[in-house]
Amino acid sequence: MQRPTAGFWSTFLCVSLVTSSLYSRGTRDKDKGSSDKSSCLAAYDKAQQLRKTGKLSQAREQLALCARETCPSAAKQDCAQWLAEVDASLASILIDARDASGNDVAAVEVSVDGKLLTSKLENRPLNVDPGTHNIRFEMADADPIEQEVTLRKGEKDHRIQVLFRRPGEGARTVEPAGVIPKKKTALDENEKPNDAIKNSTVAAGPPDDNSQRAGAPALAYVFGGLGLVGVGGFAFLAVTGKSTEQDLKTTCSPRCKEADATAVQQRYLAADIALGVGLVSLGISTYLLVRPRGGAVEKAPAASKNKSVSFHVVPNVHGGSLNLQGQF
């Protein structure tokens, strides 16, 4: 029997090594695939919980994991759709930071509700959950700045302009958008106070009609209320008087008691008086409201009389009369 040669053993050894390598690689790939599937499903479940609690930024991170190509197709499809919805609902902020000299700075740490959002500004939007947040800005050799900001759902590129001050230079503020001060030039520093007054302009124009009428006297509203009561009283008395008159015509006319007929006449008289008081009061109220009221206040003469209005209702044998007396 012929013994195996050295070439045979070499070939056998090579085949064994290749087989072992392939088996090991297959095992590792299988384990990796199982691990990826587990991580995808875990991210899938966690993303849904975070969305329900409004933590959209954290939900987005989990959705990006379960939307990968290596994830199961069903989970990947759902995560991709939810990722688009979360991106639409997330708010974002754009930060423009300046130092005390007005120069742009990028080395700024931004924290939202105590959690670090970024340690460097890169002129790009930063995603933030909708709602009210406390945002803190920190830069070396400057006082930190804190600001409460409210962001609406889906609000994009909310601009925040930050002006840092050197320690002890004054209040720490976040300037509204568009109010970042420009750098001072030599001309600005040499400008005198009087020059600053000359360069500032104040828009002037006719006084607003609403501002003129805003100071309408309370007396106008008193007369207006009295007028409405008078007109309402007239309507009530006239209607009830007419109703009583019709009842008398139906039940006892022409042999009705004189007292009943007098009561109807008195009701009509009271209705006329109420109407007169109402109309006069409404007229006075209208005059007080629409009369010109300029912004300048003129000094009244020392001997001017006090304004007053009085009513006198005088009954007589024919019904009654209304006297109106006033000084304006």
pLDDT at 310: 59
Per-residue pLDDT reduced to its tens digit, 81-123: 999 999 999 999 999 999 988 899 999 999 999 999 999 999 8
Q: Are residues 225 and 286 in the same domain?
A: yes
**Average pLDDT rounded to a whole number, residues 124-130:** 94
In the structure, what pLDDT confidence band is assigned to residue 10 with cuts at 50, 70 and 90?
low
In the structure, what pLDDT confidence band is assigned to residue 273 with cuts at 50, 70 and 90?
very high
Burial 293-315 (b: 16+ CB within 10 A, else e): beeeeeeeeeeeeeeeeeeeeee
pLDDT at 185: 46
Residue 203 lies in a domain: no
Whether residue 265 is predicted with pLDDT greater than 90 in this model: the reply is no
In the structure, what pLDDT confidence band is assigned to residue 288 with cuts at 50, 70 and 90?
confident
Q: Are residues 170 and 264 in the same domain?
A: no
Q: Are residues 144 and 230 in the same domain?
A: no
Q: Are residues 115 and 66 in the same domain?
A: no
In the structure, what pLDDT confidence band is assigned to residue 321 with cuts at 50, 70 and 90?
low
**Average pLDDT rounded to a whole number, residues 232-244:** 86
- Cα of first residue to Cα of last residue in the chain, in angstroms, is 145
Residue 132 lies in a domain: yes
Per-residue pLDDT reduced to its tens digit, 129-140: 999 999 999 998
What domain range is 107 assigned to? 91-182
The span from the CA of 97 to the CA of 107, in Å, is 9
Q: Are residues 178 and 101 in the same domain?
A: yes
Q: Are residues 84 and 99 in the same domain?
A: no
Q: What are the backbone dihedrals phi and psi of residue 150, each rounded to the nearest 5 degrees, phi first?
A: -110, 125
Domain boundary (165, 182, 199) is at 182
Per-residue pLDDT reduced to its tens digit, 171-199: 445 544 444 444 444 444 444 444 443 33
CA-based max dimension of the chain? 161
pLDDT at 302: 45
**Average pLDDT rounded to a whole number, residues 69-76:** 89
Given a contact cutoff of 8 angstroms between Cβ atoms, the answer to whether 294 and 279 are in contact is no
Q: Are residues 42 and 115 in the same domain?
A: no
Q: Are residues 165 and 244 in the same domain?
A: no
Residue 83 lies in a domain: yes
In the structure, what pLDDT confidence band is assigned to residue 301 with cuts at 50, 70 and 90?
very low
pLDDT at 200: 37
Per-residue pLDDT reduced to its tens digit, 133-170: 999 999 988 989 999 999 999 999 999 999 998 877 65
What's the structural domain count of the chain? 3
Look at 308 and 287; give whichever has higher pLDDT.
287
Residue 68 lies in a domain: yes
Residue 156 lies in a domain: yes
Per-residue pLDDT reduced to its tens digit, 194-221: 444 333 333 334 444 444 444 557 888 8
Whether residue 322 is predicted with pLDDT greater than 80 in this model: the reply is no
**Average pLDDT rounded to a whole number, residues 70-75:** 89
- Looking at every residue in the chain, the average pLDDT score rounds to 75
Domain boundary (89, 112, 131) is at 89
pLDDT at 21: 56
Whether residue 3 is predicted with pLDDT greater than 50 in this model: the reply is yes
Amino acid (1-letter code) at residue 48: Q
In the numeric block, which tokens belong to residue 64?
């990006």
What CATH code is carried by the domain that includes residue 104? Answer: 2.60.40.1120
Residue 25 lies in a domain: no
Q: Are residues 76 and 113 in the same domain?
A: no
pLDDT at 32: 52
- Residue 315: partners with Cβ closer than 8 Å, 6 or more residues away: 269
